[in-house]
Every structure is written in C-alpha cells, then in structure tokens.
Chain A
Amino acid sequence: MPTSSFFARYSAYLQAAPLTLVLLVFLVGPLIVILIFSVFKFTGFIWEPGFVIENYERIFTDRFPVTIKNYVQTIKITAITWAITLFIGFTLSYFFVFDLIRFKIKIFFFLLVIVPFWTSGVVRMVSWLPILGREGLVNKVVVGVGLSEQPWDFLFLSEFSVIVGYVHVFSLFMVAPLFNVMARIDPSLFEAARDQGAKGWQILLYIIIPMTKPGIAIGTIFVVALVASDSTISRILSGGKMGTISTTISNQYQHFQYPFAAANGIIFLIVLLLFVGGLMRVVNVREQL
C-alpha cells in the first residue's frame, strides 16, 4: 500500500517535523531578522534598509574600549554568580537526594526552591530594599553593633546587590539539573566503593562529581545565559550604575538604534555559542540524557 510505505519511509522526518517547525519559527526566524537589522543603516534617529558593515565596524574601532569593559564586567559578574549558584546548587541537591530518605520529602524540599518564583520579578528585586538599603535590616545591625558609623552603601544599588539578586533568582536553574543527575546515581555504587575502602571525600571526588558533570554543564549553560543576557535585574539592583554588554544592547534598543543593538547582539550570541561549544567538548551532556 502506497500510504503506509510513505509513512514508514518518512516517519522519522514526520516525527521531527513539529519541533523543527517550532524552532524555525521561534528561533531561526527571529535570528534572521536580527541579522538583517544588523546591516541596516542608522541615520541618527531611525534605521533605513540597506547593507552596511558600519554597525559592526564601530564595535571594533571607536567603541572597542567600552565593549571590552562591558564584556569584562559581564564575565566577572557571571563568573561570581556561577560559582555561588554552583556551590548552593550542589550542596542543596546533595542534601535532597542523598540525605533525605522519603521521596515525598525530597520533592517537598525541591519545590521550596521554586518559592521565589511565586512572586513577580519586580517584587523579588524590590524586596531587597528593606534588607540591604541604607535604612535596611543589615545596615541597622551594622550601625547598631558599631561595625560602622555610616550605613554600608555598597550593600545596595551596587555590584553586590546585583549578585545577591542573581543568586536568589537563578539558583533554581542550577539545583534542577543537578537534582536530576544525582537522583540517577545508583546508591549501591557508594556501598561498593566503601567495601573497597573508599573514604567519604573519595566517593565525592571520584564518583559523585564525575557522574554529575552533565548536570553541572546544563546548569552552567542556564545560569551563564540568564545572567549574561539580563539587563533588568542588573539595572534595578545596581541603580543603573553598572555597564554590561546587555546594558549596552538595551540602551541602544531604547533609543531606536536597532542596527547597533542587533550587531552587538550577534557578536554576543557568537561569544555565547563559542562558550557553550567549548563546554560541550569538555563534558558529554548526552551521556546522561
């Protein structure tokens, strides 16, 4: 029968078709639009269709010093957030998976990590004001116990508060993949290791960490992509005083400078893809999927 042989022959393609379509429409399509905009001409107030490379050229000439500064700042903030969320994510997941025994309790604790997401993003950010502000809880204690005569200004509207905000919001993205991979580790491996005379730190170093690598890699991709591309949290919690590559893109977008923003966006995307590509070479993520 012709129909059934058609389905038999192309079944793999047909099964892949919906996802391909979604990716084409929502990922490839917008990227092409950004690519097109990045070569449009900007006249000073508005863009004009055309093909110019000025938008890229200026990034590497006049604006090269500030671009480098922006990337250094982005990398710095991302690295610090990554290290903290990894530590929190790893210890929390370890606790959930290996220290808690009943499955329901494990899930309950895992859900607790999602609690920050029950409020809106803006509330989550503004809520740091009564804690870290000049008249906030921490500064009341600092001044009260005589640590300092003046409130510590660096606690709020600073790099510090931006990192606190990121860790608060993005830790979940490290916990979830780590929880997932750790839950797959067969506990009998630990018994076997102990029988062979392994100590606790050796189990951690030679069994758990190698086996959670794919989870670390996925969590890293999440956190790095989210932090590096954020411009809202950093704006509100730094009081608009911090310049990152996303701040630049957002400033340009706000002022209609779509071609500049698009060119910066493309370069930024290439940098991120190189990072993810490099990570994939080091860790085989598919191993655990």
Chain B
Amino acid sequence: MSDDKKARTGKAVSRRTVLKGSAAAAGLAVGSGAVSGFPTIWAQNIKDVTLRFVGSGVTHQAPWKAMIEKDMGFKVDFTVTDFDTIKNRGITQPRSYDLLEPTANNLRAMWPTNVFQAIDSTRLKHWDEAIDLYHAEGKIWPDASFGQGQNPSLVLYTDKQGGRKFAKAGSSKWLTMVPSQHNADTLGYNRDLTGRTLETWAELISDEWRGRVALQLLPEIALMDMGMALKASGLVAYEDMGNMTRDEIDKTFAIMNDLKRQKHFRGFWLTFGESVNLMLSKEVVLQSMWSPAVTVVRAQGVNAVYADLKEGYRAWTIGFMLPKHLDGLKLDAAYAFFDWLYTGSSGAYFAKQGYYMPTPQRTKEFLSEDEWGFWYEGKAAKGVIKDPLGNDLEQPGRVRDGGTYKNRMGRVAVWNSEPDELVYMTDKFDEFQAI
C-alpha cells in the first residue's frame, strides 16, 4: 500500500518536472508564431494538462465539457456553483482553479483584489470580431441603448498588467475578463394564470398578483427589478437604477416594506431550480426569471412567457478570468481555449439555450437557417426547435419571446450592477427581511 503510494507520488513529481521544462519551450514555440495550429511540443504535452474551471450552471454543462476536451486535447475539470460562491472562492482561493467564470457585475469588487492577471487581447485571435458592446462605444449597435448601471465595457479593460484600475474601453490591450455569454433578462409569467399578455414592469407591484410574485434573493438584482417597476408606475424617479443613491434606496424600500407587510411577495429565490419550482408549482404567477428556466417550465407543460416589456430589459455578461498563478503550458492552454471559445461551436451550443456569445457571425455558421432565424432573428420556427442534446424544445410556428437579438439586447434598460451604496443596500435588505 505505502509502496504503491510512493510509486504514484514519484510518477507525479517526475511528470510535473517534465511539464515545467517543456512549458517554457512550448511557450516559445507558440509565442514565435512560427508554427501553425498546435505545435508538436504542445500536442505531446497538452494531454497531460488539466484545466480546472469554476463557474455556474449557465455554461458548465457536461456536453460542453466534452466538446472542449475533444477539440482542445487537454482535460477539463468543472466545479459548478452559484455566482456568490464563484465570487468568494475566486478571491479567497485563487489556487483552487485555473479559469473562473464570474459575472461582469462582480468585477468592481473582484478586480482590485489583485488576485487575477490581465488578459492580452492582442493574443486573442478573434477579439476584433467580438461585438461592439465590448469595444470603444460600449454599444452593441450604434442605435442601441447604452443602458443604466454598469455597462460591461466600463469594467472590461485595465491599464496595464498588474493594474488595479479600469481603463476606457479600447484604450488598452489588457482585458479583465474574456466575455463568454450575455443575455437580456426580464420577468417570467404564467400566461394561463394571468389571462392576458403583460406589457409593463409595473405589473410586478400590481394588486392583481398580490401574494403570487417572486424576486431574486440578491439585494442588488431585486432592487433593480423593483426599480424598473417603480419607475414604470411613476412612483420613484431614478438617476441611475444600476447605482441608486441612498435616497433612492430608501424610497424603494419604503414601498417594498409596505408590499411585504401586505404579503405581496410569495418568495425570493437564489438558485435556478428554486425559480423553476416556484413557477411549476403555481406558487407564483409572475417573477424575476432566467431565460432557460422559462424553457424548462414550458417543457413541463406550463404556459410560461418570458415577458417582452416596453421599458426594456435587465442585461448581463459573464466571462472568464485568469488567476495570477496561471503560467507556462496551462496559461497557453487557457489562451488556446479562448480562441476556440469564439469559433462558433460554443456559440451555437449556447444559442440553443437562449444565450448569446460575442461572435454571432461565427455562431451562425454552426446553426441551421431555421435555428438562426428562431434564436436570433425572431422568426417563427419552420421545423421543431431542438435543444443542444436533440430534445424537442419548441413546436413549428412558435416565435421566441422578445423576438430578435436586436429587440432584446438593443433595448437594455439597465445592466446587472453592484452599486456604490451596496453596503447600505444590503443593510436595508436585511431590515426588509426582518419585517
């Protein structure tokens, strides 16, 4: 037993030593650009590399892991958890992962901790092809809204390697994260129970749905959803919903506290599964929801709709960050993964779950005409729309809720953000919970 253990340890040590030596060589080979595709040294050593990913269920799914391993040649280890844990673990245990996929709205808290390394965008083959949202103007189309709150372009760049400050978009080659998915969130509702189509965020506080409404159990997100509703009903005016002042927070909570006393809220959810359960069990009629959760609920036979509301959407971006310790072959592998990420196969895989990736023109190459029409162009499905695993998702004739890519991402009212007054906000949320 102990001999066996010794033998195994011995092997591991020798392999690591070999890796270290060859890493520099591989780095040189890749860096020189002399070889196209994967250099020989790379091909020989890469199968021994395991990249440890920590991320959310949005992307960290078994079929996608298989896609990475097949195309990249290295091994991948997925740890799937919620965004709060990703953020906390990302900062406190950077040695426990190689790639981290948090939300961009956590960047203001995460980046200054100095546990991450900046990513050189000139080393990313397809960075220039990424949507304009991530370049100078921060607008996905010239006529798109910039949105209140923390547009991702505001936190995507840093001035230098080791820099702790954010730089103007496009003014530097250093990225804080490589964006993976983005999407526009809204309210989900049970069409059979409402009996009509909902058109405004103000429905969230309507007496009609008293006791049948749910929000997310994250103060900053719940407050933005409430903000959309209160602004739509003309009860509170906000300078910037993604960065509320103390006065605005007080006004919002004054109304929220009253609503809680009147038992307006059925609940607050934290995980994907909880939101699905609330809708499936008919505990709620109307709630803050993620797009794939609506899909799951529909698949179970509940007539759920992802509302297309006139005030617009609450959008978000997630992306990959690299910890400081990552170097050598593993760092090269991470950069190679980033290049692969933007080639379209991942884009198509996630498009079939309703998400968008930064290189839509490449995503298009991996989708059928009908799929592209359904997911991106708001066209009625000609055939049955299937999920990435080939299960039936939507019947012919169905149009995606919210329609086109442009209608959804072009009408962003607010971006998921962490406000300056986050401490004040969490304190007030605490008092709200204690009522």
Using CB atoms and an 8 Å cutoff, list the residues of chain A in contact with chain B. 42, 44-46, 62-63, 65-66, 69-70, 73, 126, 129-130, 133-136, 153, 156-157, 235-236, 238-243, 247-248, 251-257
B57 at the A interface (CB under 8 A):
no
Q: In this complex, what residue of B is CB-closest to A65? A: B431
| B283→A241 contact, CB < 8 A | no
| B277→A257 contact, CB < 8 A | no
Interface flags for B323-340 (1: CB within 8 Å of A; 0: not) read 000000000000000000
B365 at the A interface (CB under 8 A):
no
- Interface pairs (20), CB distance under 8 Å: A44-B420, A44-B423, A63-B427, A63-B430, A73-B434, A129-B281, A133-B281, A135-B281, A153-B263, A235-B217, A236-B274, A238-B267, A240-B268, A240-B433, A242-B433, A243-B433, A243-B434, A248-B430, A251-B426, A254-B218
| A253→B88 contact, CB < 8 A | yes
Q: How far is the CB of B109 from chain A (nearest CB, A)?
A: 4
Q: For A248, what are the chain B residues with a Cβ–Cβ distance below 8 Å?
A: 430
B214 at the A interface (CB under 8 A):
yes
* Residue with the highest number of chain A CB atoms closer than 10 Å, among B109, B423, B432, B435: B423
Cα–Cα distance between A65 and B418 once the two chains are bound (Å): 26
| B109→A46 contact, CB < 8 A | yes
| B281→A239 contact, CB < 8 A | no
| A241→B265 contact, CB < 8 A | yes
Identify which of A135, A247, A256 contacts B87 (C-beta below 8 A): A256
| B283→A66 contact, CB < 8 A | no
Cα–Cα distance between A153 and B263 once the two chains are bound (Å): 10
| B430→A66 contact, CB < 8 A | yes
Identify which of A73, A126, A241, A242 contacts B277 (C-beta below 8 A): A126
Q: For B265, what are the chain A residues with a Cβ–Cβ distance below 8 Å?
A: 239, 241
Q: For B420, what are the chain A residues with a Cβ–Cβ distance below 8 Å?
A: 44
B406 at the A interface (CB under 8 A):
no
Q: For B84, what are the chain A residues with a Cβ–Cβ distance below 8 Å?
A: 254
Q: For A242, what are the chain B residues with a Cβ–Cβ distance below 8 Å?
A: 433
* Residue with the highest number of chain A CB atoms closer than 10 Å, among B108, B112, B267, B435: B267
Identify which of B283, B418, B426 contacts A134 (C-beta below 8 A): B283
B270 at the A interface (CB under 8 A):
yes
In chain B between 380 and 435, which residues have their CB closer than 8 angstroms to a CB of chain A? 418, 420, 422-423, 426-427, 429-435
Q: In this complex, what residue of B is CB-closest to A236? A: B274
Identify which of B88, B269, B418, B431 contacts A240 (C-beta below 8 A): B269
| A156→B283 contact, CB < 8 A | yes
In chain B between 180 and 222, which residues have their CB closer than 8 angstroms to a CB of chain A? 211, 214, 217-219
Identify which of A66, A239, A257 contacts B266 (C-beta below 8 A): A239
| A257→B423 contact, CB < 8 A | yes
Q: For B433, what are the chain A residues with a Cβ–Cβ distance below 8 Å?
A: 240-243, 247, 251
B282 at the A interface (CB under 8 A):
yes
Q: In this complex, what residue of A is CB-closest to B85? A: A254
Q: How far is the CB of B303 from chain A (nearest CB, A)?
A: 16
Q: How far is the CB of B246 from chain A (nearest CB, A)?
A: 13
Interface flags for B289-324 (1: CB within 8 Å of A; 0: not) read 000000000000000000000000000000000000
Q: In this complex, what residue of B is CB-closest to A44? A: B423
| A45→B277 contact, CB < 8 A | no
Interface flags for B247-291 (1: CB within 8 Å of A; 0: not) read 000000000000010010111111000100100011100000000
Q: For B361, what are the chain A residues with a Cβ–Cβ distance below 8 Å?
A: none
Cα–Cα distance between A52 and B220 once the two chains are bound (Å): 27
Cα–Cα distance between A251 and B220 once the two chains are bound (Å): 12
| A66→B217 contact, CB < 8 A | no
| A45→B112 contact, CB < 8 A | yes
B113 at the A interface (CB under 8 A):
yes
Q: How far is the CB of B330 from chain A (nearest CB, A)?
A: 27
| A241→B260 contact, CB < 8 A | yes
Q: How far is the CB of B192 from chain A (nearest CB, A)?
A: 13
| A240→B283 contact, CB < 8 A | no
| B429→A251 contact, CB < 8 A | yes
Q: How far is the CB of B282 from chain A (nearest CB, A)?
A: 5
Cα–Cα distance between A123 and B431 once the two chains are bound (Å): 29
Q: For A62, what are the chain B residues with a Cβ–Cβ distance below 8 Å?
A: 427
Q: For B109, what are the chain A residues with a Cβ–Cβ distance below 8 Å?
A: 45-46, 256
Q: In this complex, what residue of A is CB-closest to B217? A: A240
Q: A44-B420, A135-B282 are in contact. Are A241 and B427 (CB under 8 A)?
A: no
| B434→A45 contact, CB < 8 A | no
Q: In this complex, what residue of A is CB-closest to B112? A: A46
Cα–Cα distance between A153 and B281 once the two chains are bound (Å): 13
Q: A45-B108, A240-B269, A257-B423 are in contact. Are A157 and B283 (CB under 8 A)?
A: yes
Q: How far is the CB of A104 from chain B (nearest CB, A)?
A: 37
Q: How far is the CB of B297 from chain A (nearest CB, A)?
A: 14
Q: How far is the CB of B92 from chain A (nearest CB, A)?
A: 9
Q: For A42, what are the chain B residues with a Cβ–Cβ distance below 8 Å?
A: 423
Q: For B270, what are the chain A residues with a Cβ–Cβ distance below 8 Å?
A: 235, 240
Q: A66-B430, A241-B433 are in contact. Are A256 and B88 (CB under 8 A)?
A: yes
Interface flags for B104-118 (1: CB within 8 Å of A; 0: not) read 000011001100000
Q: For B219, what are the chain A residues with a Cβ–Cβ distance below 8 Å?
A: 251, 255
Cα–Cα distance between A248 and B423 once the two chains are bound (Å): 12
Q: For B268, what are the chain A residues with a Cβ–Cβ distance below 8 Å?
A: 239-241
Cα–Cα distance between A136 and B281 once the two chains are bound (Å): 8
Identify which of A240, A241, A255 contacts B422 (C-beta below 8 A): A255
| A45→B260 contact, CB < 8 A | no
Q: How far is the CB of B116 from chain A (nearest CB, A)?
A: 13
Q: How far is the CB of B2 from chain A (nearest CB, A)?
A: 21
